[in-house]
């Protein structure tokens, strides 16, 4: 038995457009992003895909991407499951900063180590910082040791892998056609988990472009047989 799974990165957000490290900042889609999401939906439909359930994060740029994709596919009625475990990586104190600002505020090489060294976290937010979201109703149910505040790659694996194993795999094995719409660094981590890759290989996994899909074929043990990208035409906002 061969199963198929589709991972889709959210469409262009205002954070992408401004070249910011967005993380858990809840920014909206850009005008181009809306067009990208709709085009991604049309591309998936034309390629013959359909879905029974969609999984996404609690961040609006991913949620709205799902809306537009499913609307274009005439699948606006299927369940959309939202979870913090599919949120983007939490970048702590550097969230919201333009990437060009990092060198001005932090020592040379720090940003590279946060992104490339799997056990190194960005600097944590102070609890009185307005960006500290512990009391946000989306996250207030989390235990103290679950709530992220500047994540390393190891931290991301710890929150993503159990959800993959305990929630998504059973859905795929039950025969459901699953779509996951998430974020660049989260998808990089999830592809590593799916492929049973060593965590040290994570830094070499490229972040896919916005609104681009990765198609997996999986065997009955959920081992990847094939991985390919579903390209979509370049577009102009409408």
CB 229 within 8 A of CB 40: no
Full DSSP string of 113-150: HHHH-TT--PPPPPTTSTT--TTSTTTTTS-TTTS-SS
Asked whether 42 and 72 are in contact (CB, 8 A), the reply is: yes
List the one residue out of 70, 46, 40 whose CA is nearest residue 209: 40
| Bridge partners, 56 (sequence order) | 82, 181
End-to-end distance of the chain based on CA atoms, in angstroms? Answer: 42
Is residue 88 flagged as an active site residue?
yes
From 12, 88, 95, 151, active-site residue: 88
Residues 61-70 as b/e (b if ≥16 CB within 10 A, e otherwise) read bbbbbbbbbb
Q: Mark whether 196 is an active-site residue.
A: no
Distance CA 31, CA 35 (A): 7
Q: Tell whether the torsion through CA atoms of 184, 185, 189 and 192 is positive or negative.
A: positive
Q: Which residues are catalytic?
A: 10, 88
């Amino acid at each position: 038995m061969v199963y198929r799974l589709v991972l889709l990165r959210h469409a262009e957000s205002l954070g992408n457009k401004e070249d910011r490290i967005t993380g858990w900042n809840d920014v909206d889609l850009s005008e181009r992003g809306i067009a990208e999401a709709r085009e991604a939906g049309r591309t998936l439909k034309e390629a013959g895909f359909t879905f029974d359930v969609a999984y996404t994060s609690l961040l609006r740029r991913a949620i709205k991407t799902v809306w537009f994709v499913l609307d274009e596919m005439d699948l606006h009625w299927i369940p959309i499951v939202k979870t913090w475990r599919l949120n983007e990586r939490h970048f702590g104190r550097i969230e919201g900063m333009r990437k060009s600002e990092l060198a001005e505020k932090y020592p040379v090489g720090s940003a590279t180590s946060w992104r490339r060294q799997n056990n190194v976290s960005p600097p944590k937010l102070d609890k009185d910082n307005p960006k500290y979201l512990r009391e946000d109703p989306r996250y207030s149910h989390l235990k103290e040791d679950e709530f992220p505040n500047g994540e390393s790659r190891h931290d991301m694996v710890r929150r993503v892998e159990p959800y993959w194993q305990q929630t998504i795999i059973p859905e795929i094995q039950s025969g459901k056609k699953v779509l996951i719409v998430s974020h660049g660094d989260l998808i990089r981590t999830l592809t590593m988990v799916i492929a049973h890759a060593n965590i040290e290989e994570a830094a070499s996994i490229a972040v896919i472009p916005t609104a681009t899909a990765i198609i997996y074929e999986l065997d009955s043990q959920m081992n990847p047989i094939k991985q390919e990208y579903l390209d979509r035409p370049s577009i102009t906002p409408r």
